[in-house]
Every structure is written in structure tokens, then in C-alpha cells.
Copies of this chain bind each other. A is one copy, B any other.
């Protein structure tokens, strides 16, 4: 019984554990665990969904940790190699990074208001695995984005059309 309870805790303290994992990974690579790197990482795991570079630099400076864009880029590249951060989306010429550690979310992206709705579908993931198996492909992570109009923007579009005619 107690053991089961203990296991459950794992999910609760994810952030702390992640930070430890990161620290270990960094050191394993013979790299140094600096305040900047720590803070970049902290910032990322407390960010839901996506983030951009400028945003990240800002947030970190607000915490009184001096950091340059260069360092953020460099840290992100390390994190990419270590597999903590995932591939990259581009929207309006801006690169948007995504965390690969947290449970994975797919996205509905409104092309009108740019709102991003996250969702998760086990069924879709199962089918993906099936496809991969067919091609002998070993999946590491994926990205599913559905572009379209969110309900609000649909209504707006409708309203516009009505007033026209």
C-alpha cells in the first residue's frame, strides 16, 4: 500500500524532478550548471505550451538574472540536444519552441485570433503508432496542429457576412 502511494507522488513533484534530471543531464555532458541555464529551464517548465525567445529573455531578466539572447539560444540548443525541448514551429517568422517533457499536447490554432487550444487524444496517438509501425519508423515525438477558426471567430465571421448582405 505504502509503495503505491509513494509512486503517486512522482507525478506531483514533476517540476522539481525535472530540474534534477536537467541538472544531471547537463553535468553528465561535462557542461556547467549555471544560474542562467537553471533559470532558462525553470522558465520553460513553468510555461504552458509554447514560448518565444524574446519572451524568455524578458521573463528571466525580470527575475534579476542577467541573461543575453545569445545565452538563451545556446541553452535552447543544448536542451534540444538533450531532448528537453522539441522541434520548432514557425509562425509569422517567429520560432516557437515547445517543451517535450510535459505530457504532450496537440493544438488547434485559430488563424484569425491566433488563439491556441491544446488537446490530447489517445486514439490519435495510437493510430500514429500504427502508422509508424507500418513504415518501420521509430517515433520520438510528434506535432499535430490543426489550423482553422475558433468558435468565437466563426461567429464574428458570420456576423460580418450577415451585415454585408
Residues of A within 8 A of B (CB): 86-91, 95, 108, 110-111, 117, 119, 121, 123-124, 127-128, 131-132, 134-151, 154
Contacts and interface: CB of A to CB of B under 8 A. Distances in A.
Closest 7 CB pairs of A and B: A136-B151, A90-B90, A139-B148, A142-B146, A140-B148, A138-B149, A144-B144
Copies, count: 2
A109 B10 CA distance: 32
B127 A127 contact: yes
Contacts of A131: 108, 119, 121, 124, 146
Contact of A144 (B86, B123, B136, B143): B143
A88 B139 CA distance: 22
Contacts of A148: 132, 137-141
A136 B117 CA distance: 11
A149 B137 CA distance: 6
A80 to B, nearest CB: 10
A128 B124 contact: yes
B147 A135 contact: no
Given A88-B90, A90-B90, A127 B121 contact: yes
